[in-house]
């Protein structure tokens, strides 16, 4: 090699090292074994990566329809007040373990994720409203950190973890002003862009339900309420109306629209005894609770009395208790399956070897649940199951809908346009005629199927009269726009 070649190679190596150092300095990310910085996309939800939060390479993809449990512990050390490792463990509905995704580990405030081993109220797991992500809240502290719940959020940041269908774990926020010196319990999102957390906190300004927008800040949050909330969840009805719900031990309130500033919740009318997890469903099209759109069925995992079922009664305009499944439960996930409701619960765990159980509610609407739980998996010694949710890519609705508008190029609705949907999941094509604003809807469609939606009009022409739509969840923006100046002559 000539002296000129050696000089060029040396300069190239120096340039690469300088570039790598610059990347690490600018992003603030720690790139270690098994970690990667996810590629940026064109969606707002991808901006967190550019702000320097950590993304872990996937272990294995989840299978839609399966059940995922957050599990604390390593199977060796006794669970106590120290920080312990967290994993997401995937099961089939029969209890076969198909996948385990570990949360990242790191030095203090290095982008890791642990939880207190013996906490009886931490570790809830939520599926996003669009079915794409699992979310949970934990501590940015190494396993073994003593009395991690008591550390301030400056010493051990409160981290929001988002996990997608591929098994990729992303720490989307590392909060310094939330749930300080106390329990960090839950995180939830609708689409993976903004988030809500729940927990306790000292001082009180760090308490309660909190709103987090990582595109604005990955370290700070907005206090929505100041209660000692046990959990925060989201629900939506068949019309895609979204609701945020939070429970303290003896209160359960909700917000709609989704709040971004301090706002008092509306009382739901359900008074729990010791609420932990909760699920709200839209089961009957003609029934809906006041203020909650079409939501008409609720299940509350109550540590004091068991799994409690409620239904909205249109005669009394109130929630009515519809039976209790005896036991002590922490987590609950539910989905409508034809005439039944499939539920999966975790038992209140203590510090070792609690259970994942399946429950099938076969009771008709208006009657009480009489089901008995069946244990399908156990955590094992020195492990504890916490929250439970369906795997990313799963829809919890009995059917989903496709809706949209048919419009002129100026945005005016086109009435009496004929819209048709076809697909292998349909026995025959379905057709509707648009209303005054040009709106249409096809409901009770099978999730996971592909459909073709086509429009035609006697008065307008369309360059793109058909759309191919693969449905995972509700679609509300399948719009058609007529060609400009193409009104047909009569």
Tell me, rounded to whole angstroms, the distance of Cα 99 from its chain centroid.
Answer: 19
To 5 degrees, how large is the angle CA 325–CA 327–CA 331? 90
Model confidence at 53: pLDDT above 50: no
pLDDT of 59: 65
pLDDT of 334: 96
pLDDT of 49: 32
Query: In which band, very low, low, confident or very high, does the pLDDT at 19 lie, cut at 50, 70 and 90?
Result: very low
Query: In which band, very low, low, confident or very high, does the pLDDT at 400 lie, cut at 50, 70 and 90?
Result: confident
Torsion angles phi and psi, residue 5, rounded to 5: -65, -40
Q: Which fold has domain 400-481?
A: Immunoglobulin-like (2.60.40)
pLDDT of 396: 59
Of 38-42, 43-47, 85-89, 220-224, least confident by mean pLDDT is: 38-42
Q: What is the pLDDT of residues 441-455, one digit of tens each?
A: 887 787 778 999 999
pLDDT of 56: 56
Task: Summarize the confidence of residues 162-173 as an average pLDDT.
Answer: 92
Query: In which band, very low, low, confident or very high, does the pLDDT at 302 lie, cut at 50, 70 and 90?
Result: confident
What's domain 44-390's superfamily in CATH? TolB, C-terminal domain (2.120.10.30)
Query: In which band, very low, low, confident or very high, does the pLDDT at 397 lie, cut at 50, 70 and 90?
Result: low
**Residue 166 CA: distances (Å) to CA of 60, 70, 134, 322, 385:** 6, 17, 11, 38, 22
pLDDT of 243: 97
Model confidence at 258: pLDDT above 70: yes
Model confidence at 238: pLDDT above 50: yes
pLDDT of 79: 96
**For residue 256, with 0-12 CB atoms within 10 Å meaning exposed, 13-18 middle and 19 or more buried, which class applies?**
middle
Model confidence at 7: pLDDT above 80: no
Query: In which band, very low, low, confident or very high, does the pLDDT at 283 lie, cut at 50, 70 and 90?
Result: very high
| Tokens encoding 212 | 């987090």
Query: In which band, very low, low, confident or very high, does the pLDDT at 307 lie, cut at 50, 70 and 90?
Result: very high
CA neighbor of 123 nearest in space, from 387, 426, 390, 391:
387
Q: How many CB atoms lie within 10 A of CB 445?
A: 22
| 182 within 8 A of 201, measured Cβ to Cβ | yes
**Residue 353 CA: distances (Å) to CA of 2, 49, 78, 357, 490:** 67, 36, 11, 13, 75
Q: Is 34 helix (H, G, I), strand (E, B) or coil?
A: coil
pLDDT of 20: 34
Q: What is the pLDDT of residues 322-381, one digit of tens each?
A: 999 999 999 999 998 888 999 999 999 767 899 999 999 999 999 999 999 999 999 999
- Percent of the chain, pLDDT > 70? 85
Query: In which band, very low, low, confident or very high, does the pLDDT at 26 lie, cut at 50, 70 and 90?
Result: very low
The alpha carbon dihedral of 81, 84, 90, 94 has a sign of negative
DSSP annotation of 57: P
Rounded Cα distance, 141 and 156, in Å: 6
Rounded Cα distance, 214 and 191, in Å: 13
Rounded Cα distance, 201 and 180, in Å: 5
**Residue 84 CA: distances (Å) to CA of 104, 169, 178, 487:** 12, 17, 20, 66
Q: What is the pLDDT of residues 84-142, one digit of tens each?
A: 999 999 999 999 999 999 999 999 999 999 999 999 999 999 999 888 899 999 999 99
Rounded Cα distance, 211 and 224, in Å: 7
Rounded Cα distance, 408 and 404, in Å: 13
pLDDT of 55: 55
Rounded Cα distance, 390 and 356, in Å: 13
| Tokens encoding 245 | 């719900």
pLDDT of 6: 39
What is the residue-averaged pLDDT of the chain?
A: 85
DSSP-assigned states of every residue in 102-167: EPP--STTSS--EEETT-SS----EE-TTSSEEEEEEESS-TT-TTGGGS-TTTS-EEEEEEETT-
pLDDT of 395: 58
Predicted TM-score of the model (pTM): 0.73
pLDDT of 60: 78
């Amino acid at each position: 090699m000539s002296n000129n070649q050696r000089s060029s190679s040396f300069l190239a190596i120096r340039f690469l090292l300088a570039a790598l150092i610059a990347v690490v300095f600018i992003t603030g990310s720690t790139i270690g074994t098994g970690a990667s910085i996810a590629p940026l996309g064109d969606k707002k939800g991808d901006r967190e990566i550019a702000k320097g939060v950590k993304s872990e390479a996937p272990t294995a993809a989840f299978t839609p329809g399966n059940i995922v449990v957050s599990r604390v512990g390593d199977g060796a050390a006794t669970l106590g007040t120290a920080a312990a490792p967290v994993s997401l463990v995937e099961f089939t509905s029969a209890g076969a373990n198909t996948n385990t995704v570990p949360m990242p580990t790191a030095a203090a405030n290095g982008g890791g994720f642990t939880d207190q081993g013996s906490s009886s109220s931490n570790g809830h797991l939520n599926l996003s409203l669009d079915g794409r992500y699992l979310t949970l809240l934990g501590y940015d502290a190494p396993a073994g950190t003593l009395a991690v719940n008591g550390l301030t959020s400056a010493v051990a940041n409160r981290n929001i973890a988002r996990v997608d269908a591929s098994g990729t774990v992303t720490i989307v926020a590392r909060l310094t002003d939330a749930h300080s010196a106390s329990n960090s319990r839950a995180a939830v999102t609708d689409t993976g862009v903004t988030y809500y957390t729940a927990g306790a906190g000292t001082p009180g300004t760090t308490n309660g339900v909190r709103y987090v927008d990582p595109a604005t800040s990955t370290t700070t949050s907005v206090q929505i309420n100041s209660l000692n909330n046990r959990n925060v969840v989201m629900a939506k009805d068949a019309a895609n109306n979204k609701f945020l719900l939070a429970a303290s031990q003896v209160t359960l309130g909700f917000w709609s629209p989704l709040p971004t500033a301090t706002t008092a919740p509306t009382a739901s009318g359900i008074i729990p005894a010791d609420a932990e997890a909760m699920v709200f469903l839209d089961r009957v099209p003609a029934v809906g609770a006041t203020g909650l759109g079409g939501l008409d069925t609720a299940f509350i995992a109550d540590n004091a009395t068991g799994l409690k079922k409620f239904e909205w009664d249109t005669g009394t305009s109130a929630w009515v208790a519809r039976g209790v499944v005896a036991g002590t439960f922490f987590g609950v996930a539910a989905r409508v399956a034809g005439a039944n409701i499939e539920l999966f619960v975790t038992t209140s765990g203590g510090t070792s070897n609690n259970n994942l159980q399946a429950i099938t509610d076969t009771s008709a609407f208006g009657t009480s649940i009489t089901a008995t739980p069946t244990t399908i998996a156990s955590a094992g010694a020195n492990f504890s199951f916490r929250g439970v949710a369906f795997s990313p890519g799963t829809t919890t609705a009995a059917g989903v809908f496709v809706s949209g508008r048919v419009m002129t190029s100026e945005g005016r609705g086109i009435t009496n346009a004929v819209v048709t949907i076809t697909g292998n999941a349909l026995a025959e094509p379905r057709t509707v005629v648009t209303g005054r604003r040009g709106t249409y809807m096809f409901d009770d469609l099978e999730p996971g199927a592909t459909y073709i939606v086509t429009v035609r009009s006697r008065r307008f022409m369309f360059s793109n009269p058909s759309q191919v739509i693969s449905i995972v969840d509700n679609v509300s923006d399948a719009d058609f726009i007529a060609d400009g100046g193409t009104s047909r002559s009569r």
